[in-house]
Structure 1
Amino acid sequence: MDGIKEDVAREVICPSVTSGGIDPGMPAESPRDMPAQRLERFDYSARRTLVNASARSSWTKRFFVLGGALALSIFAIYEMYLVLSIGDLTPVEQVVLGLFALTFVWIAIAMTSAIAGFAVIVRRRFTGPQRSKEPLKKRTAVLMPTYNEQPDRVFAELESMIRAVDALGEGDAFDWFVIADTTDAAVALQEEEGLALARQRLGGRTRLFYRRRRQNTGRKAGNVADFCRRWGGAYEHLLVLDADSLMDAETMVELARRMEADPDAGLIQTIPVLVGGTTLMARIQQFAGRVYGPVVGTGLSWWVQKEGNFWGHNAIIRTEAFTNCAGLPDLPGAPPFGGHIMSHDFVEAALIRRGGWNVIIADDLSGSFEESPPSLIDLAVRDRRWCQGNLQHSRLIAARGLHWVSRSHLLTGILSYATSPLWLMLLIAGLVLALQAHFIRPEYFSSDFQLFPSWPRIDPERALGLFVLTMGVLFTPKILGLVAFLSDGKARKAAGGFFGVLVSFLAEMILSALVAPIMMLIHTGAIVQILLRRDAGWNPQRRDDGGVPLTDLIRRHKWHVLSGFILGGAALADSWILLAWLSPAVTGLILAVPLSGLTGSASIGRAFKKMGILRIPEESNPPPIREDMLAVRPSYEAAVLKAPSFAETVSDPDLLARHLAFADRVLPRRRGAVDPVEAMAAAKIGEAESIREAATFLNAKEEAIVLATPRLLQAMAALPEVESPKG
């Protein structure tokens, strides 16, 4: 006990142990400095000068997209003013006009960007892809951050990608890393079982490594930064994946080739395609992303050009640019607006661009895949976390030295959630305007002297024209996406043919219209919680199962249902016509519970799949990389089921030796900075009379920290397996 207390008082750096020929979890460290960046100041003279100065972004493209959106918005806002200003604008009408202006600008930019994307896609059909065949000369570290994910999925994905890259003859250019932030000791041991099996199956043809951090400082961004500071010096590029990511080998190699060919490229982001969804909600997102996503993503890439964005995964990054420019500082204050930067990707892209590197969206590259949340509730949980991170950008948008397009990305992230309360307020203001005209006697003359009366009136003919314009702007990206998709004969046939795609299009439109008001209230509620300083935390995301018990559905959606009845009642109090206009929103909210349950059901999803509704080409013709992953996953599922428990690992010398070989070294700490969880675990081990008793003493957090601390494991292993009989 005294020895353990002494160890807690003075941290000992304990490298990974190699025993019995077991390869260590990680290679030798190759440190690289990654300083935290200053946001309130920037030395412009230190900005890197572009090697290819002629390859700058064009103002013409931006003028077309942003100027076109501005001109359209001015016209629509003026039309709305004319609709409302037959008489003097009342306060409610002024609110309606202001909210309409804010929301219309948002959809106008999406429309003009989609028009540009559509034109690029059509032109590209006649030119074909441009690819290089140069062999790779530089090294890339492929990083897969995990946080309590399914190890069988993670290692099956990695094995399929490793084999595919090896088959192209470029395996020597890539090293593969699982960088885990897993806090569940059982999952951590399953990860080690997956690593052992993957190394055995892959043999000596590749290098696959694993590291689990003891402390999750900085979450995912801190996880990647830790890798860069300790091993980044050995790699020119980082290819960052997510736990549900898959990429074709050709795409990965092409990313590395483009990075080698362009000395100014700091980051190249692919546009992932959603695949593998089984529930109806996942299929809705897949279909929308596959049909409408290309025109939106291509349009964005077309006008942002060298000032692109980063979405956190399925992208390649130049290590020099990342470490020199993108070290994230902690923000002053407590979460949700202070502390670690949650939506780190947008900020990292902005800082890389600030440092003089180009950030590019490779919209022409296919073969990049990910998965979507399986249910409306899972989507809400993910969006709650993203919403907090994006609203946190309000403290970063004015950082010194950022390019104005980078600031626009940050603003877009904020507005992607802030538009929900704006739409809600516009809906309420419009309803109040209708009720005011119906129930409140107009004041024909104000208290001030005037010759003509003033009362709230609108121009119905002009209002109808404005409604048609607004709907046209709102749905243009979807229509253009549908046209572009249907014009691709191969994709159209794989998705069910012309008629099948149209049926899926209508199904997606109806279901999305019903879900939209629920998401509007979910996002509005998330913003309210954040403004009340409630932190979202960091929870693992469900990937496959979307089933939710009925009691949870009722608890999560009861306020949505109540809002639907209130909205419907208020509309009916005015007229049946107003209720008919609001029926999509009212219906979606009132049916929130069954809608959420049905869209999260795998059986309903399978029924839609059997009927061919919401089918995407990757469903009829699965990507080979995904087929390979699904073929090898059962082997890892079986291995994970056989993973030893915490107590078994400590009790078995061979299992303990393997674990110690895989364990990360304990980093030095400042004297006196004692981790209370570690100290409590040490005290409990010191009091235990057997391994089994110690295991019963430790809670989940303590198990996880012991598993990552070799000296505590060795102290626990020194105990007898069971208590000696008391005599």
Structure 2
Amino acid sequence: MLTDRASSPTHDHQPSGSEADAAMMSRRRVLLFFLIIGTIAFAIALMIATLSSGGFDLLDALLTLCFGLTLPWTVIGFWNAVIGFALMRRHRDPAAVVCPVIADPPDAITARTAILSCIRNEDAERVVRHLDRMIQGLHQSGHGQAFEIFVLSDSTWPECIEAEEAGVQRLRNRWSPLVSIGYRRRPDNPGFKAGNIQDFMHRWGDGFDFALVLDADSLMAPDTILRMVGIMQRNPRLGILQSLVVGLPSTSAFARIFQFGMRLGMRSYTLGSAWWQGDSGPYWGHNALLRVQPFRAHCRLDPLPGRQPLGGWVLSHDQVEAALMRRAGYEVRVLPQERGSWEENPPTLIEFIRRDLRWCQGNLQYLRLLSTPGLHPVGRVQLVLAILMFIGSPAWVLFMTLAALQIGRVPESGPMFDPIFGWSIFALVMTMVFAPKLATLGSLLLSRKGRADFGGGPRLLAGAFGEILFSTLIAPVMALAHTLFMGGLLFGKAIVWSPQRRDTHRLRVTQALRRLWPQTLFGIAAMLWLISTDAGGAVLLSPFIVGALLAVPIAVLTAWPAFGAWLARIGLWRIPEEVDPPALIKSLGLPRVGRRRAYVPATDQVAADSIVGD
């Protein structure tokens, strides 16, 4: 349930921009709507034609329904990619086109900003190391006095609490009195992270204009922080400014492949989505700048009515807070530039699934919030899309299962599927699924700098097609995990909020099998069924089946530290921060690609030892 004070929009804070700008955004959204509806209708018609070869019965109708439920997220991603590719090819600075607030000249920093590091049972050394680098950069910029650091802990493990207190004290010893560093631990954690931030807002919010929200693994370049603060200062109607977060270099094979794919897809996707979302953009909960007063007044979340899993505190708080900020008349924008804002990605498939299931439960809670009065239409659409992102998984699993059963049926009159239409729908879906990555890949290949940023054209191509194969294989693993988890939600099973394991670590076969046996069993059963029926029809289903069948080997191999280190040495799945590391990344002592050893520059080693060491 949302607080009463945020139950209706304010009238003294209207979105900035002229009527012409508002009309232009309306035209863009209407155009996108008809493109999406037309594409979905065409895809469904193609599916009906595929299934009508031997007649169209109830099973065919159910197949079509399941297929239709998987389409909205995929189709929107496709058109985001098309729009993003067009922007990248037509404009020298496409980010400024879709986010005009970044085009203004820089101002002197006059605002007071709190940097909030929100942690719960995390590695304190990582948190302290990242904060130290950011404090150092802000101090060297001459603007350190405009910032204060707050480590906001919800930790319950004694060893974590002890490490946090010791780490914060080391930071104070190093930076006091230049920078104020506060530490607060709540004995319990009502509201989870959202409650943690609101607790800060009500205790200390009066002393600050803005708050920069960080996760335990967040790292932001000082010039990026200063730039965001400058943008927020110049735009008083801007309530949330979200940076584009990319992955830090890693020797985990899983993280390397995953973040390469994310980096490949996010450029076109983010530009395309910002083109039509405009001032009603997303908020991802970290590496983002908040305007304190409206966030405190309008974005508080109360527990949802009913019991878990859909009742209680909202797990995926960020997108709801974005919708409430926009409802209050403030803009929410994403800064669609891949620089100066990083996080660490899960090092194994198992950790990735754990994180995704928490998001799954949180997003499904949005079902209780769709009727919230006064939300901007785009904000309401984003809540719907967040739900469909996960509801599409059981629909896809059911579609594949029914398709396999359909192939095995004895046809009474002619073939069950039209092969021409069948291959056409397969090609269409695969094109739409991978459109964001293919669009960015095409733009990079057409740019000498783009190719160089990823280690050259051959390495970029090899990485791209390897990642597409990898994501194709893990898609069924994730879809089945979502489906099983949502099945458990129907019986009251809820996720346990626990910290992520962020360091590279080995995964034993027994550990992987304990978590992935349902996928393995599904893969074996489906493969045996298809082999015994129609090999031709099985081809269309084989990527889904093979991915489930190989879930355990994929999880074990991509978690193997030696394999990840070898990939780093040969430079496969490089990201720009590995090819040409910024000074801030170098100072962390992360492994570098090629045959060079990991490094920490001598000028930073003393600082690193003084902060992280005892």
Same fold (TM over 0.5): yes
Q: Could you say which residue in structure 1 is the equivalent of 2:508?
A: 549
User: Contact 1:277/1:544 (CA < 8 Å) preserved in 2?
Assistant: no
User: Contact 1:139/1:174 (CA < 8 Å) preserved in 2?
Assistant: yes
Query: 1:401 and 1:126, CA in 2 relative to 1: closer, same or farther beyond 3 A?
Result: closer
Task: Give me the whole-angstrom Cα distance separating, in 2, the residues matched to 1:351 and 1:558.
Answer: 41
User: Contact 1:311/1:346 (CA < 8 Å) preserved in 2?
Assistant: yes
CA drift of 1:378 comes to 0.3
Query: 1:534 and 1:404, CA in 2 relative to 1: closer, same or farther beyond 3 A?
Result: same
Aligned-partner residue type, residue 98 of structure 1: L
Q: What secondary structure sits across from 1:622 in the alignment?
A: coil
Q: What is the total number of aligned residue pairs between the two structures?
A: 593
CA drift of 1:425 comes to 1.0
User: Contact 2:36/2:75 (CA < 8 Å) preserved in 1?
Assistant: yes
What do you get for the CA RMSD once the two structures are aligned? Answer: 2.3
Task: Give me the whole-angstrom Cα distance separating, in 1, the residues matched to 2:394 and 2:463.
Answer: 29
User: Contact 1:152/1:633 (CA < 8 Å) preserved in 2?
Assistant: no
Task: Give me the whole-angstrom Cα distance separating, in 2, the residues matched to 1:350 and 1:290.
Answer: 26
Q: Could you say which residue in structure 1 is the equivalent of 2:597?
A: none
CA drift of 1:637 comes to 7.3
CA distances 1:425-465 after superposition (whole Å, capped 9, x unpaired): 111121122112xx26x3x7xxxxxxxxxx77543333333
User: Contact 2:46/2:425 (CA < 8 Å) preserved in 1?
Assistant: yes
**Pairwise mapping of residues 306-321 of structure 1 onto structure 2 (< 5 A)?**
306-321=279-294
User: Contact 1:373/1:543 (CA < 8 Å) preserved in 2?
Assistant: yes
Aligned-partner residue type, residue 401 of structure 1: G
CA distances 1:263-285 after superposition (whole Å, capped 9, x unpaired): 11111111101113221110111
Matched, 1:471 2:438: no
Q: What secondary structure sits across from 1:629 in the alignment?
A: coil
Matched, 1:606 2:565: yes
User: Contact 1:515/1:588 (CA < 8 Å) preserved in 2?
Assistant: yes
Aligned-partner residue type, residue 42 of structure 1: S
CA drift of 1:84 comes to 2.9
Query: 1:572 and 1:309, CA in 2 relative to 1: closer, same or farther beyond 3 A?
Result: same
1:389 aligns with one of 362, 365, 371: 362
**Pairwise mapping of residues 192-271 of structure 1 onto structure 2 (< 5 A)?**
192-271=165-244
User: Contact 1:145/1:241 (CA < 8 Å) preserved in 2?
Assistant: yes
Task: Give me the whole-angstrom Cα distance separating, in 2, the residues matched to 1:638 and 1:521.
Answer: 47
CA drift of 1:639 comes to 6.7
Task: Give me the whole-angstrom Cα distance separating, in 2, the residues matched to 1:298 and 1:123.
Answer: 12
User: Contact 1:239/1:317 (CA < 8 Å) preserved in 2?
Assistant: yes
Task: Give me the whole-angstrom Cα distance separating, in 2, the residues matched to 1:458 and 1:270.
Answer: 46
CA drift of 1:473 comes to 2.3
CA drift of 1:229 comes to 0.5
CA drift of 1:636 comes to 6.4
Query: 1:548 and 1:466, CA in 2 relative to 1: closer, same or farther beyond 3 A?
Result: closer
Aligned-partner residue type, residue 408 of structure 2: L
**Pairwise mapping of residues 262-661 of structure 1 onto structure 2 (< 5 A)?**
262-364=235-337, 366-436=339-409, 439=410, 442=412, 457-630=416-589, 631=600, 642=614
Q: Could you say which residue in structure 1 is the equivalent of 2:34?
A: 67
Query: 1:462 and 1:553, CA in 2 relative to 1: closer, same or farther beyond 3 A?
Result: closer
Aligned-partner residue type, residue 225 of structure 2: M
CA distances 1:548-582 after superposition (whole Å, capped 9, x unpaired): 23321121122211111101011112122234433
1:152 aligns with one of 121, 125, 150: 125
User: Contact 2:247/2:343 (CA < 8 Å) preserved in 1?
Assistant: yes
1:123 aligns with one of 90, 112, 118: 90
Task: Give me the whole-angstrom Cα distance separating, in 2, the residues matched to 1:283 and 1:486.
Answer: 20
Query: Percent identical across equivalent pairs?
Result: 33
Query: 1:128 and 1:459, CA in 2 relative to 1: closer, same or farther beyond 3 A?
Result: closer
CA drift of 1:76 comes to 2.1
Matched, 1:104 2:63: no
Q: If the length of structure 2 is used for normalisation, what is the TM-score?
A: 0.91
Q: Could you say which residue in structure 1 is the equivalent of 2:135?
A: 162
Q: What secondary structure sits across from 1:210 in the alignment?
A: strand
Aligned-partner residue type, residue 205 of structure 1: L
Instruction: Extract unaligned runs of 5+ from structure 1.
Output: 1-34, 445-454, 643-727
My pick for the range that moved more, 540-549 or 318-327, is 540-549
Q: Could you say which residue in structure 1 is the equivalent of 2:110?
A: 137
Task: Give me the whole-angstrom Cα distance separating, in 2, the residues matched to 1:170 and 1:131.
Answer: 20
CA drift of 1:589 comes to 2.0
User: Contact 1:352/1:358 (CA < 8 Å) preserved in 2?
Assistant: yes
Q: Could you say which residue in structure 2 is the equivalent of 1:85?
A: 52
CA drift of 1:505 comes to 1.1
User: Contact 1:147/1:181 (CA < 8 Å) preserved in 2?
Assistant: yes
User: Contact 1:65/1:116 (CA < 8 Å) preserved in 2?
Assistant: no
Structure with max Cα Rg:
1
CA distances 1:78-109 after superposition (whole Å, capped 9, x unpaired): 22223333564211111112222222333121
CA drift of 1:537 comes to 1.8
User: Contact 1:491/1:617 (CA < 8 Å) preserved in 2?
Assistant: no
Q: What secondary structure sits across from 2:3 in the alignment?
A: coil
CA drift of 1:634 comes to 8.6
CA distances 1:294-332 after superposition (whole Å, capped 9, x unpaired): 111111111111111110001101111101110111111
Task: Give me the whole-angstrom Cα distance separating, in 2, the residues matched to 1:269 and 1:279.
Answer: 27
Task: Give me the whole-angstrom Cα distance separating, in 1, the residues matched to 2:419 and 2:546.
Answer: 26
Query: 1:36 and 1:578, CA in 2 relative to 1: closer, same or farther beyond 3 A?
Result: closer
Q: Could you say which residue in structure 2 is the equivalent of 1:30?
A: none
Task: Give me the whole-angstrom Cα distance separating, in 2, the residues matched to 1:250 and 1:74.
Answer: 46
Q: What secondary structure sits across from 2:39 in the alignment?
A: helix
Matched, 1:42 2:3: no
User: Contact 1:152/1:637 (CA < 8 Å) preserved in 2?
Assistant: no
My pick for the range that moved more, 539-548 or 460-469, is 460-469
Task: Give me the whole-angstrom Cα distance separating, in 2, the residues matched to 1:182 and 1:75.
Answer: 51
User: Contact 1:194/1:636 (CA < 8 Å) preserved in 2?
Assistant: no
CA drift of 1:170 comes to 1.5
Task: Give me the whole-angstrom Cα distance separating, in 1, the residues matched to 2:82 and 2:172.
Answer: 48
Q: Could you say which residue in structure 2 is the equivalent of 1:711?
A: none
Q: Could you say which residue in structure 1 is the equivalent of 2:100?
A: none
Q: What secondary structure sits across from 1:582 in the alignment?
A: helix
User: Contact 2:116/2:214 (CA < 8 Å) preserved in 1?
Assistant: yes
User: Contact 2:255/2:348 (CA < 8 Å) preserved in 1?
Assistant: yes
Q: What secondary structure sits across from 1:134 in the alignment?
A: coil
User: Contact 1:240/1:313 (CA < 8 Å) preserved in 2?
Assistant: yes
Task: Give me the whole-angstrom Cα distance separating, in 2, the residues matched to 1:608 and 1:411.
Answer: 39
Query: 1:586 and 1:575, CA in 2 relative to 1: closer, same or farther beyond 3 A?
Result: same
Q: If the length of structure 1 is used for normalisation, what is the TM-score?
A: 0.78
User: Contact 1:171/1:206 (CA < 8 Å) preserved in 2?
Assistant: yes
CA drift of 1:638 comes to 8.0
Task: Give me the whole-angstrom Cα distance separating, in 2, the residues matched to 1:203 and 1:623.
Answer: 27
CA distances 1:19-53 after superposition (whole Å, capped 9, x unpaired): xxxxxxxxxxxxxxxx96249x9335657334555
Task: Give me the whole-angstrom Cα distance separating, in 2, the residues matched to 1:461 and 1:365.
Answer: 41
Query: 1:615 and 1:327, CA in 2 relative to 1: closer, same or farther beyond 3 A?
Result: same
CA drift of 1:365 comes to 6.0
CA drift of 1:60 comes to 2.2
Task: Give me the whole-angstrom Cα distance separating, in 2, the residues matched to 1:254 and 1:195.
Answer: 26
CA distances 1:651-678 after superposition (whole Å, capped 9, x unpaired): xxxxxxxxxxxxxxxxxxxxxxxxxxxx
CA drift of 1:478 comes to 1.8
Query: 1:572 and 1:47, CA in 2 relative to 1: closer, same or farther beyond 3 A?
Result: farther
Instruction: Extract unaligned runs of 5+ from structure 2.
Output: 97-102, 590-599
CA distances 1:197-253 after superposition (whole Å, capped 9, x unpaired): 112222432222211112211111111010001000000111111111111111111
Task: Give me the whole-angstrom Cα distance separating, in 1, the residues matched to 2:340 and 2:359.
Answer: 25
